Amino acid sequence: MTAPLIIAVPKGRILDEALPLLARAGIEPDAEFHDKKSRALRFATNQPGTSIIRVRAFDVATFVAHGAAQIGIVGSDVIEEFDYSQIYAPVDLNIGHCRLSVAEPVETASEDEAAMSHVRVATKYPHLTRRHYEAQGIQAECVKLNGAMELAPSLGLSRRIVDLVSSGATLKANGLVETSVIMQISARLIVNRAAFKMRAAEIVPLVERFRNAVGAGNAAA
């Protein structure tokens, strides 16, 4: 019997956009997936032998990197933050668009960072933050948070934050302004490299179906 194919999807905001894409690629989770009362985490799909697991966004990359899931859908922010060598990201899914930016209080935003040798930053992305500042010869001391980074400056945790920005509404509501954009982000299809080689007969056509599903979505837009 062939091993099941596991697709990891994030339970957060990308999911709403990812489900129609999965459907266009021919994969639909069972009814229990949509049952808000269900505590299940793994779901059968309309494709025999293919299951979907619903996990936290950062954990999608971890499941796929370790081969516990063969395929996943995750933001490029997460891919770059982990930089797992075992992850191959062949398709830009053109969903989950946002950017990773530095932000700080309106009052201090005009100060020149170039003159600094050290900054303290609250972020969920310590690796990308350090990389961004290192490129400018600045050492970044990161305070790791898992959400609500925007609270850090007003409460004295750090003057700067590095966080995701889309409409800019969260920054504005918390008295912060974007001072530089580190990277543009969109969700990607990711594949475990070993599985891609070992199970090419199943995975290569599936990746192609996702590629076509993105094309169909773009044409309809």
Ligand X SMILES: Nc1ncnc2c1ncn2[C@@H]1O[C@H](COP(=O)(O)OP(=O)(O)OP(=O)(O)O)[C@@H](O)[C@H]1O
Residue 77 in the binding site for ligand X (CB under 6 A): yes
Q: Under 8 Å CB-to-CB from 103, ≥6 apart: which residues?
A: 150, 160, 161, 162, 163, 165, 171, 176, 177, 178, 179
Q: Which residues of 204-214 are buried (b: 16+ CB within 10 A; e: fewer)?
A: eebbeebbebb
Residue 148 in the binding site for ligand PRP (CB under 6 A): yes
Give the three-state DSSP class for 204.
helix
Select from 10-18, 42-50, 102-110, 132-140 the region that touches ligand X (CB under 6 A).
Answer: 10-18
Residue 14 in the binding site for ligand X (CB under 6 A): yes
Residue 186 in the binding site for ligand PRP (CB under 6 A): no
* Residue 14 interacting entry, from ligand X, ligand PRP, none, C-beta within 5 to 8 Å by type: ligand X
Q: Please identify which residue in the block is written with the tokens 């170039």.
A: 114
Select from 26-34, 62-70, 158-166, 199-207 the region that touches ligand PRP (CB under 6 A).
Answer: 158-166
Contact 81, 125 (CB under 8 A): yes
Among 1, 114, 115, 169, binds ligand PRP (CB under 6 A): 169
Q: How far apart are CA 100 and CA 181, in angstroms?
A: 6
CA-based radius of gyration for the chain: 19
Among 61, 165, 191, 214, binds ligand PRP (CB under 6 A): 165
* Residue 78 interacting entry, from ligand PRP, ligand X, none, C-beta within 5 to 8 Å by type: ligand X
**Hey, which residues does 73 pair with through a beta bridge?**
189
Residue 27 Cα distances to 51, 156, 176, 215, angstroms? 9, 47, 41, 16
Tell me whether residue 116 or residue 181 sits nearer to ligand X (CB atom).
181
Tell me whether residue 70 or residue 101 sits nearer to ligand PRP (CB atom).
101
Size of the site for ligand PRP (CB under 6 A): 11
Q: Which residues bind ligand X (CB under 6 A)?
A: 10, 12-14, 56-58, 75, 77-78, 96-98, 147, 164, 166, 185
* Residues of the shown chain interacting with ligand PRP in the complex, contacts defined by CB under 6 A: 13, 147-148, 163-170
